[in-house]
Amino acid sequence: MSWTPADPMVSIKDVHKSFGDLKVLNGVSLDVMKGDVICIIGPSGSGKSTLIRCVNALNDIQQGSILVEGQEVNDPALDKLELRKKVGMVFQQYNLFPHKTALQNVMMAPVRVLKRDKVEAEKQARDLLAKVRLQGKEDAFPGELSGGQQQRVAIARSLAMQPDVILFDEVTAALDPETVGEVLQTIKDLAEDGMTCILVTHEMGFAREVADHIYFTDRGVIVEHGPPAIFFDNATDPRTKEFLSQIL
């Protein structure tokens, strides 16, 4: 079966996952088309983060199927490195490499993993840092940057691999309120450029503004989903309503 851009870029079907006796995902299915921005929201412990960590095989799944551009992730013979070249990820705690400068953080993977030319990779890294509005911070170490700046470096680092889809795992949850905006703006820019994004987030206003589709998860299942306008104003499921009433 060959994948074409008309097929879903990421196709999750009936995924089950448990840590020991704890069932975290209980039959989750969703499709993400190329250029889509989808937001997964839901209460803590509902399996949102686990779900997206399964997409780039940081977590394995026990049952079901995850296709990324037609490639089955739930496959013992999976080439994880090839998968991860296509799927970028940005973490809640940024996870920049503290012993490397911002520039090195961004250009290291293209040079070492993709074996790209160093000069060209450095040029791309500088462009990306400019794109996330961090000109002049190229030589700063992560410890010298604010949380928001670090997170933008992390986004640039992920972009440097030229992935087809990027996973955002609660990327603003560890930030000071005043720096959340700059990170969200960066993601919005990406979305406008047509990058396929899967976000786990608690930023409802942002989800409403940017997402093409919202998924609400609770206790390992998708309770309700829809375009933001319908989802936020006309939620039907009582669990969704309760959650939204607490948050909004």
Q: Report H helices in 92-227.
A: 102-112, 118-131, 147-159, 177-192, 204-210
**Cβ proximity to other proteins, 134 vs 154, nearer residue:** 154
Which one among 10, 17, 91, 159 touches other proteins, defined by CB under 8 A? 91
Alpha carbon distances (Å) from 196 to 46, 74, 190, 192: 23, 21, 8, 10
Q: Which of 51, 54, 67, 96 binds other proteins (CB under 8 A)?
A: 96
State the minimum distance, in angstroms, from the CB of residue 169 to other proteins.
10
**CB-based contact 166:91 (threshold 8 Å):** no
Residue 171 in contact with other proteins, rule: CB under 8 A = no
User: Could you tell me which stretch among 66-74, 90-98, 177-185, 213-221 binds other proteins (CB under 8 A)?
Assistant: 90-98
Alpha-carbon gap, residue 202 to 1, rounded angstroms? 37
Q: Report helix, strand or coil for 121.
A: helix
Helix (H), strand (E) at residue 3: none
Indicate whether 121 belongs to the interface with other proteins (CB under 8 A).
no
- CB 195, CB 188: distance < 8 Å: no
The answer to whether residue 10 forms part of the interface with other proteins (CB under 8 A) is: no
Does residue number 81 form part of the binding site for other proteins (CB under 8 A)? yes
241 counts as binding other proteins under rule CB under 8 A: no
For other proteins, the binding residue among 157, 184, 196, 223 (CB under 8 A) is 157
CB of 145 to other proteins, least distance (A): 15
Q: Write the single-letter amino acid at 119.
A: V
Is residue 118 involved in binding other proteins (CB under 8 A)?
no
Going by their DSSP bridges, the two strands 63-68 and 10-19 should be labelled as antiparallel
- Quote the CA–CA distance of 159 and 98 in Å, as a whole number: 19
Residue 11's DSSP bridge partners are 31, 67
Q: What is the token pair recorded at 192? A: 């406008």
Binding residue (CB under 8 A) for other proteins from 14, 112, 118, 130: 112
- Is 88 one of the binding residues for other proteins (CB under 8 A)? yes
Exposure of 198 in the CB half-sphere (CA atoms within 13 A): 29
Site string for other proteins, 197-236 (x = CB under 8 A): ----------------------------------------
Only segment of 9-17, 97-105, 119-127, 218-226 that touches other proteins (CB under 8 A): 97-105
Q: Which of 12, 89, 187, 190 is close enough to bind other proteins by CB under 8 A?
A: 89
User: Residue 153, SS3?
Assistant: helix
Binding-site ranges for other proteins (CB under 8 A):
56, 58, 80-82, 84-85, 87-89, 91, 93, 95-99, 108-109, 112-113, 143, 154, 157-158, 161
